[in-house]
């Protein structure tokens, strides 16, 4: 049995959050650079501004986007790890609290009815999965809501099948139009049930932009959806163009014989995601 003080988890969350706020993932940056080569006019202007913006963020130590997001934390905990110290959830929240204060990040979390801000961007959205081994794997995904607002869940019928899945993905991006800061990164959950399907979609967003699912039938859904999305001519910022999405990633789970849940989680072009294993 390995013993880990949750203070270590707090520190890790703190560092990941600080870094994520100021940095695009390498695969996102590469996708934006590629897209810039393909675009002209206002679309090219927008992509150039975004690439320049990340440099400004690093130089000035300011977040790339003011929507420093809801702190989504995915934790894979080896079952041979015994946690000591402060309760896990408190440790994660403390890491978020300190990072958002020290990094001059925006505090965007509020009561859903009174809209009163919690003032420190907590609580984090923590998902814990117990796995084999004695390692801890942490993923930090600051999730902006301009794009989150455009996400949808479909309870399709088995008969709708593959075609229904691709249509649901394309329809979601089409309906979102210029609003979620395109070019978007599209995370898709296929299967599971009402709640786990949405989490699959979010997990899909932690994959590298441009990566393909190892299953060929799933990868072909990703490719077809991406192609059809990029024919919509929404373009960067909705200014028109060839790049409406920089990627589509699908994750799967077994589902019920009566159903085919599909969740489409939209991420803006500002993909920020940090991973650590220890």
Partner 1 sequence: MKHLTLPMTKEEKEALRAGESVLLTGTIYTARDCAHKRLFALLDEGKELPFSLEDAYIYYAGPCPAPKGKACGSCGPTTSARMNSFAPRLLDLGLQGMIGKGEMSEEVRAAIKRNKAVYFAAIGGAGATYGNAIKESECVAFPDLLSEAVYQMKVEDFPLVVATDSEGKSIYDR
Quote the least distance from Cβ 143 to partner 1, whole Å.
Answer: 14
Place of tokens 């440790």: 91
Contact between 146 and partner 1 per CB under 8 A: yes
Contact between 46 and partner 1 per CB under 8 A: yes
Pairing of strands 245-253, 184-191: parallel
Contact between 42 and partner 1 per CB under 8 A: yes
Question: Which residues of the chain form beta strands (DSSP E)?
Answer: 2-5, 70-78, 81-84, 125-131, 136-143, 152-156, 184-191, 245-253, 260-267, 274-277
Our CB check for partner 1 shows the closer of 4 and 270 to be 270
Quote the least distance from Cβ 226 to partner 1, whole Å.
Answer: 20
Name which position in 196, 240, 253, 255 contacts partner 1 (CB under 8 A).
240
* Cβ neighbours for 119, distance < 8 A, ≥ 6 positions apart: 107
**Residue 44: C-alpha distances to residues 18, 91, 156, 174, 238 (Å):** 29, 43, 37, 21, 12
**Which among 39-47, 86-94, 159-167, 253-261 is the span making contact with partner 1, rule CB under 8 A?**
39-47
> How many residues are listed for the chain in this entry?
278
Q: Directed axis angle between helix 161-176 and helix 216-229, to 10°?
A: 30
Quote the least distance from Cβ 54 to partner 1, whole Å.
Answer: 8
**Which among 2-10, 104-112, 204-212, 219-227 is the span making contact with partner 1, rule CB under 8 A?**
104-112
Q: 245-274 mask for partner 1 (x: CB under 8 A)? A: -----------------------xxx----
How far apart are alpha carbons 236 and 271 in whole angstroms? 15
Contact between 149 and partner 1 per CB under 8 A: yes
Say how many residues touch partner 1, by CB under 8 A.
Answer: 43
Which residue, among 224, 236, 241, 230, has the nearest Cα to 270 in the 3D structure?
236
Contact between 231 and partner 1 per CB under 8 A: no
Contact between 239 and partner 1 per CB under 8 A: yes
Place of tokens 């920089």: 246
Q: 156-195 mask for partner 1 (x: CB under 8 A)? A: ---------------------xxxxx--------------
Contact between 84 and partner 1 per CB under 8 A: no
How far apart are alpha carbons 222 and 70 in whole angstroms? 26
DSSP 176-245: HTTTT-SSEEEEEEEES-HHHHHHHHHHHTTSPTT---SSHHHHHHHHHHHHHHTTS---GGGS-SS-SE
Contact between 83 and partner 1 per CB under 8 A: no
Place of tokens 């988890």: 9
Our CB check for partner 1 shows the closer of 197 and 264 to be 264
Name which position in 35, 65, 198, 199 contacts partner 1 (CB under 8 A).
65
Q: Which residues bind partner 1 (CB under 8 A)?
A: 41-42, 45-46, 49-50, 52-54, 56-57, 60-68, 104-108, 115, 117, 119, 146, 149, 177-181, 233, 237-240, 268-270
């Amino acid at each position: 049995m390995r013993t880990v003080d949750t203070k270590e988890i707090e520190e890790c969350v703190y560092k990941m959050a600080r870094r994520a706020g100021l940095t695009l993932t390498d695969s996102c940056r590469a996708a934006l650079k590629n897209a810039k080569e393909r675009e002209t006019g206002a679309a090219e202007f927008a992509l150039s501004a975004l690439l320049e913006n990340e440099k400004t963020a690093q130089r000035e130590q300011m977040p790339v986007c003011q929507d420093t997001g809801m702190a989504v934390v995915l934790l894979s905990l080896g079952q041979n790890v015994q946690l000591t110290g402060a309760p896990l959830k408190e440790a994660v929240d403390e890491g978020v609290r300190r990072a958002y204060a020290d990094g001059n990040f925006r505090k965007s979390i509020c009561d859903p009815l009174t809209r009163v801000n919690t003032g420190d961007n907590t609580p984090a959205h923590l998902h814990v999965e117990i796995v084999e081994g004695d390692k801890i794997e942490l993923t930090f995904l600051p999730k902006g809501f301009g794009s989150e607002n455009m996400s949808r869940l479909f309870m399709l019928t088995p008969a709708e099948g593959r075609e229904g899945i691709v249509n649901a993905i394309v329809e979601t991006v089409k309906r979102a139009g210029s609003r979620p800061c395109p070019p978007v990164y599209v995370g898709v959950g296929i299967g599971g049930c009402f709640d786990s399907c949405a989490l699959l979609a979010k997990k899909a967003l932690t994959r590298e932009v441009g990566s393909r699912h190892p299953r060929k039938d799933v990868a072909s859904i990703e490719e077809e959806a991406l192609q059809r999305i990029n024919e919509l001519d929404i373009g960067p910022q909705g200014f028109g163009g060839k790049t409406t999405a920089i990627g589509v990633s699908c994750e799967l789970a077994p589902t019920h014989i009566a159903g085919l849940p599909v969740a489409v989680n939209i991420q803006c072009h500002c993909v920020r995601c940090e991973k650590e294993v220890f």
